[in-house]
């Protein structure tokens, strides 16, 4: 159960309010809820906010550094997200794992697959966990970003490329998602939280995909945009663990 | 006689059913039929499924790592497949050989030839076998992907580039394929299995191209999509060896 | 409070008159006003004009080398500015910090973010301060170069990428700029001086953004195009410090 | 007098018949005629056919490895041929010289000039002879591929870039070709054999350009497509030496 | 006062006649006139013609190697000239300085600025003089290649990038050229000779720009296309020194 907070890069401050714009607010949710098994930051935020050592660190979830990233300003372009941070820099910041987004279907997909594989081998050689953010995007998969076949293909690529975990969008129903999980094989599946939805729907969704074999959830906006972030975190944790 | 299982990357899970989506199912066919001289995997699948050492390994065919790959999501684009895995990583996984696809005729053909040559020299220096997947593709060869002249040209490029084996599409008749094999010279020819066809046709085809000098077959879907994978494997093996 | 003088590269000599075309004129303003905490030069100007050591150097502000740059001759193109100078060369010239421009929204934005991150890590490892010039540009942000949302996004990217300071355009009013500063979090905000405006307006502007939390000002034309450069420098310094 | 046999890469097997498709047939011509001072192969053919050491090798002409190459499948594209083989690999195969094609006039001309210069310096440092295949191609020189001015320009570029030999198309008459040779200066000129023409015409041509100062001939199809390859080789050798 | 002879690369042999096509003819002019302070060659010509050591060398002007170059065959394309020769190779040939062309205004301008800066730092570290050929070219500056503002901008870029000398086109009148020289600051200005003009005009021009502060002249065609090359060289030298 990962708490994701790289939206400042991917979407910009429009996702934030006066509270959650501050990374300390997110660290606080993690500290108080004690249910997250990982915190996802870009390097800059980790460097300036995540406690590097000492007593405090023990109470926070382990750090996952997002190695690539892009802004959301490029409407109508085929998405490309490239390595910003090195594996060694992630280790220096105390990370136990790294994340990398592949825009499956994008005209630049091959470039990201090449970069991911190289980083994946390096991270494994240095004992880090590797999480692949597998997001169908671009004109070749337009309108099919959540379809069974496209999401299952995304899951399979994560396996063929050697990711330990694949973060995937939910297909909307447990039956089709069971096929996605089967396609991922030995690569474990984390479901992407996505935009904020109402609580009952979220809980139903999580219950559904956990039942068919998902390993967990990588969630952001549905936690730190919630009125009771700690409460909803703990409710979701009960379903997951 | 190679058992190919990189379709999860190249075509996605639509090629699979509930059984053959699991790499263990393919390992099982190999184990039970005892006729394959090589198993083709992408790095991720090899890493998580192929037995690295010990007693078990001896009963499985040697490992061939496919060094490059691309997804099948890019309709209407000139195909480009780039190195995903290093030769050293293939060795670490226990591979005895490596494979690399060149899309002959693609607008990106030169880029793949350059990358292939570099990898081929490195693999040879490290005592690995090098297999070139030579696939005519792209608008310059459209409609001629199986023609005598284009396939013979693909075979010749494999020789000029120094491949030990060229995996090639069948031209459809033994006479024209004899010219393909002649063009390949000292580079041995493996015929690509292709999509699933009915058994009698497959057996005729294999008989035909083996008679004119092909060295073997790299086959996937016609084995693991068959109702009796072990049976068909052994029938084909009788023709080949 | 930085004195910026890289306009010779970015705009060309049309920004200059017979006095300020000479880098010594700028060094003189810095020497006489004794209020600047940094001088921004391209490598060539630093090399030929900035006093490298000895007694004189102590009286000049510390040196900031601009690592990238481009000319202003490219109307209608999506801006791209690439690394011209290495971090090691900046150190050799005596710099205490480095600057790098990212054109937020440009079609080449990702390339600059990748290069910036690499340089930022290297500069930090060598104990230099890193200042990100965050300029919204290109067709995706056309007409919104000074809007609250776009400038706040630019500020946030600087934080996510790990800059120590972000140099940003002013949004025009203190309320919206407070949100920009909040978005930048632990990354300190310097406001871009921009084209020459009349003195009263400039003083009002500086008073406004300093009140809502800006850290300082990076100013060029409003100083060295002024009739009394030393006077206006000292007036602004009183507001800032 | 070079015997060129890289047409399998450049044109494909359509240039070949049942005899000359076999590299051993070419080695045989060289052995029997004893007039060639160099044999041009791509790396793959050299590796699998050229005798590496021992008694046999002494009877064959020295090896020239063609470092770059491309296929002939790309109609209507501006030609680009990139390095396939390293200088060190050529040395390992026993080569005394290397060849590289620059498509003079192509939109990719600059890229090939950059790569050639780097390889040329490396080859010279390792005591290899460097031969530049200078072929005018692409829309900028369309219809002028054999004109005096364009071929003389190609010859001059070979000199400016430091080639030991320039392989050039014949301009069609000795007067204009004298200017080509003058333009090449200290770089020696080899004339390109080109497509098969009738014997009398070939002999006239060779007589003509040798008279105005050409150093030799690099010939392929006019030898190994001839009815009496050894005979024609020896006739041409008499003119050249 | 530099004698430039890289026109074989940039324009081709159409600039030459039966005499000046031979690099020895140019060396002869230099030897007999004894007024030149530098000779500009591409690497290939230097390697094969310039005397490397011994008694002879002392009588020739020092060698300047042009590091980049392109052919003149590309009408209607935005000019791009890339590094052909390394700084180390220039040193090996005995050069005391290196030259590099930046096409100011070209769509590829940034790529050349990046490459120039890197080479400039390397050359300075190895004690070579660096001369920047600053040529306004491309659609953004079309028709303004000799205008005061564009040439002054080109001069300024040379300073900002750290060149020791900038080779610039003449603006046509001494007043505007005084501004160009001022823009170049500590970077010294050499005026480009350009196409052959009649002697009186040339002498007037040189007199004019030397009066307003130019450091010298880089001249080619107006010397070696002249009827009395030694004579005109000595006349110009009188004005310059």
- Give A83's contacts (C-beta < 8 A, 6+ positions apart): A67, A68, A100, A115, A119, C114
In the prediction, which pLDDT does B56 show?
66
Is the pLDDT at C53 greater than 70? The verdict is no
Is the pLDDT at E181 greater than 60? The verdict is yes
Stretch B108-123: mean pLDDT: 98
User: Residue E55's pLDDT band (boundaries 50, 70, 90)?
Assistant: low
| E positions 92-131 inside 8 Å of C (CB) | 104-105, 107, 109-110, 113-114, 117-118, 121
Q: Return the HEC string of chain E.
A: CEEECCHHHHCCHHHCCCCCCCHHHHHHHHHHHCCCCEEEECHHHHHHHCCCCHHHHCCCCCEEEECEECCCCCCCCCCCCEECCCHHHHHHCCEEEEEEEEEECCCCHHHHHHHHHHHHHHHHHCCCEEEEEEEECCHHHCCCCCCHHHHHHHHHHHHHHCCCEEEECCCCCHHHHHHHHHHHCCCEEEEECCCCCCHHHHHHHHHHHHHCCCCEEEECHHHHCCCCHHHHHHHHHHHHC
Is the pLDDT at D92 greater than 80? The verdict is yes
User: Residue C52's pLDDT band (boundaries 50, 70, 90)?
Assistant: confident
Query: pLDDT tens, B14-64?
Result: 999 999 999 999 999 999 999 999 999 999 999 999 987 555 667 899 999
| E positions 68-97 inside 8 Å of C (CB) | none
Whole-structure pTM value? 0.96
In the prediction, which pLDDT does B193 show?
86
Of D9, D86, D89, the CB nearest to B157: D9
> Which helix H or strand E contains C118, and what residues bound it?
helix C109-125
The pairing of beta strand E68-69 with beta strand E82-83: antiparallel
In the prediction, which pLDDT does B51 show?
87
Interface test mutation site (partner C, options E114, E160, E168, E184, max chain C beta carbons within 10 A): E160
User: Residue B194's pLDDT band (boundaries 50, 70, 90)?
Assistant: confident
In the prediction, which pLDDT does E53 show?
59
Contact A44 C183 (CB under 8 A): no
Q: Are the C-beta atoms of D77 and D55 separated by less than 8 Å?
A: no
The pairing of beta strand B82-83 with beta strand B68-69: antiparallel
Q: Can you tell me the distance from the alpha carbon of A83 to that of A115, in angstroms, rounded to the nearest whole number?
A: 7
Is the pLDDT at D55 greater than 70? The verdict is no
Angle between helices B199-211 and B174-184 (to 10 degrees): 50
Distance from CA of B207 to the nearest CA of A (A): 33
CA distances from B74 to A179, B9, B77, B102, D212 (A): 22, 13, 6, 16, 56
Is the pLDDT at D227 greater than 90? The verdict is yes
Stretch C40-53: mean pLDDT: 92
Stretch D123-137: mean pLDDT: 98
Query: pLDDT tens, A152-170?
Result: 999 999 999 999 999 999 9
In the three-class reduction of DSSP (H, G, I as helix; E, B as strand; rest coil), residue A30 is classed as helix
Query: pLDDT tens, E99-110?
Result: 999 999 999 999
Query: pLDDT tens, C83-133?
Result: 999 999 999 999 999 999 999 999 999 999 999 999 999 999 999 999 999
Stretch A132-146: mean pLDDT: 97
Q: What is the mean pLDDT of chain E?
A: 96
Stretch E149-170: mean pLDDT: 98
Q: Can you tell me the distance from the alpha carbon of B83 to that of E39, in angstroms, rounded to the nearest whole number?
A: 46
- Give D143's contacts (C-beta < 8 A, 6+ positions apart): none
In this complex, is the C-beta atom of B6 within 8 Å of any C-beta atom belonging to chain A?
Answer: yes
In the prediction, which pLDDT does A51 show?
87
Chains E and B touch, using 3 or more CB pairs below 8 Å: no
Q: What is the mean pLDDT of chain B?
A: 96
Active-site pick, E5, E50, E135, E170: E135
In the prediction, which pLDDT does D73 show?
97
In the prediction, which pLDDT does D239 show?
95
Contact C84 E113 (CB under 8 A): yes
Q: Can you tell me the distance from the alpha carbon of C70 to that of E117, in angstroms, rounded to the nearest whole number?
A: 12
Is the pLDDT at D51 greater than 90? The verdict is no
Angle between helices D148-161 and D109-125 (to 10 degrees): 40
Is C167 in the active site? yes
Is A135 in the active site? yes
Contact B49 A186 (CB under 8 A): yes
Active-site pick, A5, A50, A167, A170: A167
| A positions 18-57 inside 8 Å of C (CB) | 18, 21-23, 42-45, 47-49
**ipTM value:** 0.96
Q: Can you tell me the distance from the alpha carbon of B154 to that of B180, in angstroms, rounded to the nearest whole number?
A: 8
The pairing of beta strand B129-136 with beta strand B165-168: parallel
Contact E13 D163 (CB under 8 A): no
Query: pLDDT tens, B74-103?
Result: 999 999 999 999 999 999 999 999 999 999
CA dihedral E34, E35, E38, E40 (to 10 degrees): -90
Is the pLDDT at E179 greater than 70? The verdict is yes
Interface test mutation site (partner B, options D17, D40, D51, D73, max chain B beta carbons within 10 A): D73
Query: pLDDT tens, C88-100?
Result: 999 999 999 999 9
Q: What is the mean pLDDT of chain A?
A: 96
Distance from CA of E157 to the nearest CA of C (A): 6
In the prediction, which pLDDT does D210 show?
97
Stretch A65-74: mean pLDDT: 98
User: Residue E56's pLDDT band (boundaries 50, 70, 90)?
Assistant: low
Chains D and A touch, using 3 or more CB pairs below 8 Å: no
Residue of E nearest to D150 (CA): E12
């Amino acid at each position: 159960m990962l708490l994701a907070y790289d939206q400042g890069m991917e979407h910009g401050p429009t996702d934030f309010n006066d509270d959650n714009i501050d990374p300390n607010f997110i660290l606080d949710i993690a500290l108080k809820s004690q249910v997250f098994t990982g915190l996802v930051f870009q390097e800059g935020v980790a460097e300036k906010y995540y406690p590097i050592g000492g007593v405090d660190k023990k109470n926070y979830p382990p750090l996952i550094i997002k190695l690539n990233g892009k802004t959301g300003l490029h409407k109508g372009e085929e998405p490309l997200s490239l390595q910003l941070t090195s594996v060694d820099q992630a280790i220096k910041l105390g990370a136990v794992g790294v994340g990398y987004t592949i825009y499956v279907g994008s005209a630049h997909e091959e470039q990201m697959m090449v970069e991911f594989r190289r980083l994946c081998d390096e991270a494994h050689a240095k004992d880090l966990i590797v999480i692949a953010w597998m997001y169908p995007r671009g004109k070749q998969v337009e309108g099919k970003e959540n379809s069974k076949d496209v999401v299952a293909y995304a899951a399979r690529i994560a396996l063929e490329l050697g990711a330990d975990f694949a973060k995937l969008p939910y297909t909307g129903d447990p039956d089709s998602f069971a096929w996605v999980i089967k396609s991922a094989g030995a690569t474990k599946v984390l479901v992407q939280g996505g935009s904020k939805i109402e609580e009952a729907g979220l809980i139903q969704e999580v219950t559904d995909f956990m039942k068919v074999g998902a390993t967990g959830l990588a969630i952001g906006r549905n936690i730190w945009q919630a009125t009771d972030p700690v409460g909803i975190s703990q409710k979701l944790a009960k379903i997951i663990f």
